[in-house]
Chains A and B, each alone.
Chain A
Amino acid sequence: EPEVTQTPSHQVTQMGQEVILRCVPISNHLYFYWYRQILGQKVEFLVSFYNNEISEKSEIFDDQFSVERPDGSNFTLKIRSTKLEDSAMYFCASSSHTISNQPQHFGDGTRLSIL
């Protein structure tokens, strides 16, 4: 069964450094998402991406965050200057838009630890 894959599985970064999290969505999917889960809290929406542009973003997704689909397969989340509170699990998801009742499929996440 097709999967969403994320790399790396764990990223440790010094505060203030830039970090790029990578995702390969399911190949025929058209909508792409990033979510995060801070330890002990709920999974929170960050941003959705369709047709090479952001379709929606949350309050969390401030100017320090950006997303890109640099080629036909990868979908990246960049945090420009990381803060301690960015430490979380980051999940990428994708979905098909062609018919109804289409769930989002998630990758296994990247654990981001900011020191």
Chain B
Amino acid sequence: DQQVKQNSPSLSVQEGRISILNCDYTNSMFDYFLWYKKYPAEGPTFLISISSIKDKNEDGRFTVFLNKSAKHLSLHIVPSQPGDSAVYFCAASGSNFGNEKLTFGTGTRLTIIP
């Protein structure tokens, strides 16, 4: 069941440059999309989200873009910092009221090179 896909298992980016992480989904009933960051031995930490009525949401260095027609979202981190090195998970839900299960992608390991 590959309803949420992250096709790049890993990504390396130079410090200070832009990191772009991609995510595709197949279920058109998804209404709310989230990005989580995960360090080893810790749980997923919420980063940023976007509702399907928007195409962009920005929070500091993090911006999420949603292209509903392409069923694609991306996370932009600029400028990238060494502390951003982690696994990033894309997740989707049928509701933005936090009351529905999340369907996760397989994650992308981001490495920021100093």
Contact = CB atoms under 8 A, between A and B. Distances in A.
Interface size class of A (residues with CB under 8 A): 20 to 34
Nearest to A43: B104
Contacts of B102: 33, 35, 43, 45, 93, 104
B19 interface: no
Interface of A: 4, 6, 31, 33, 35, 41-45, 48, 50, 55-56, 58, 91, 93, 95-97, 99-109
Interface stretch (B22-30, B43-51, B68-76): B43-51
B103 interface: yes
Nearest to B42: A108
B88 interface: no
7 cross-chain pairs, A with B, having the tightest CB-CB distances, nearest first: A95-B98, A102-B98, A106-B43, A45-B101, A43-B104, A103-B46, A108-B43
Interface residues of B, number: 25
Contacts, number: 68
A13 to B, nearest CB: 20
Contacts of B99: 31, 48, 50, 55, 95, 97
Contacts of B42: 108-109
Contacts of B41: 108
Nearest to A58: B101
A101 B103 contact: no
A48 B101 contact: yes
A91 B100 CA distance: 16
A99 B36 CA distance: 20
Nearest to A44: B104
